Amino acid sequence: MFTNHLPAHVSGQDQLIWKILFDRQTALLHRRAAPAFSQGLARLGLRREAIPDLGELSTTVFEETGWRLAPVGRPFEPAAFFELLAERRFPIVTRIRPMHAFDFSPQPDLFHDLFGHVPMLLDSGLADFLHMLGQAYRAQPEGSPAREQLWALYFFTAEFGLVQHEGQPRLYGAGLLSSAGEIHHCVNENTPRIAFDLATVLRTPVTGARYQQQYYVLPAWEQLTDCVAELAGLLAVA
C-alpha cells in the first residue's frame, strides 16, 4: 500500500510532519476515538513511517467500500464538495499543514483528510450517510437554505461529531481526530457537549476558523443514517 519513493509533491519535511502528527494523535485518541475509527485505521494499515501513496490507498478504499479518493490542490466550495460525495468520491487535499499549525489547522490538509476522514470511510454507516448527504445537496437548488442546513449537518457530524459508546462520548469527526488543540478543547469540562438533535444542529452556525463552541453527541451510531431520512422529511415540508 505504501511506496518507498516519495511523490514529487511530498518532501522529507512533509514526512516528518506526518510522523509527528501521527504519533501525537494516536496517543491522544487512545480510548477517546469511536471504534469505527480505530478499526478503519487498522484495516488500512496507515502507519507513522510514511505518507501513503494516494493511488494505492484509493484502490484499497474502493475495494473495501466502493468509494474513491480524489486528490485536490486545496479545499473548495461546498457545492463541488457535495457533488463528489454524491459520486462516492472523497476529496483529499495534497498539502500538509506547516509546523506552526500543528495543533489547529483552519483548513483541511493532507493529514486531516487521510488520518481523520479515510479510516471512517470504511464504516458503511458513515459512508452511506455521506453519500446520502451528497445526493440531498445535489437535489436542492443553488442558493437554497436547505443547502446551508446540509452543510451544517455534515459539519457537526463528519467533521466535529461524537457518539456515545459504552457510556462515554467518543470522537468520530475528522476535525477532532486530526487536531490536538480541538481534542483538548472538546474534552474540557467547560465545553458544552450536547445530545444530538437534528433541528438544533441545522440552526447552528458553521465556522472552521476557531475551536467549536459546542459539540453534538449521537446517542447511538444508527442515528447517523436515521437523521438523513428525518432531514428529507423536513426538506419535503419546506
Catalytic residues: 112, 117, 159, 178
Q: How far apart are CA 75 and CA 44, in angstroms?
A: 24
Using alpha carbons, list the distances in angstroms from residue 23 to 20, 50, 185, 200, 222: 5, 12, 19, 35, 30
Bridge-partner residues for 184, per DSSP? none
In three-state secondary structure terms, 195 is strand
In three-state secondary structure terms, 138 is helix
Residue written as grid cell 516519495: 6
Q: Order the strands of the 168-171 sheet from edge to edge.
A: 168-171, 162-165, 215-218, 193-195
Q: How far apart are CA 100 and CA 115, in angstroms?
A: 19
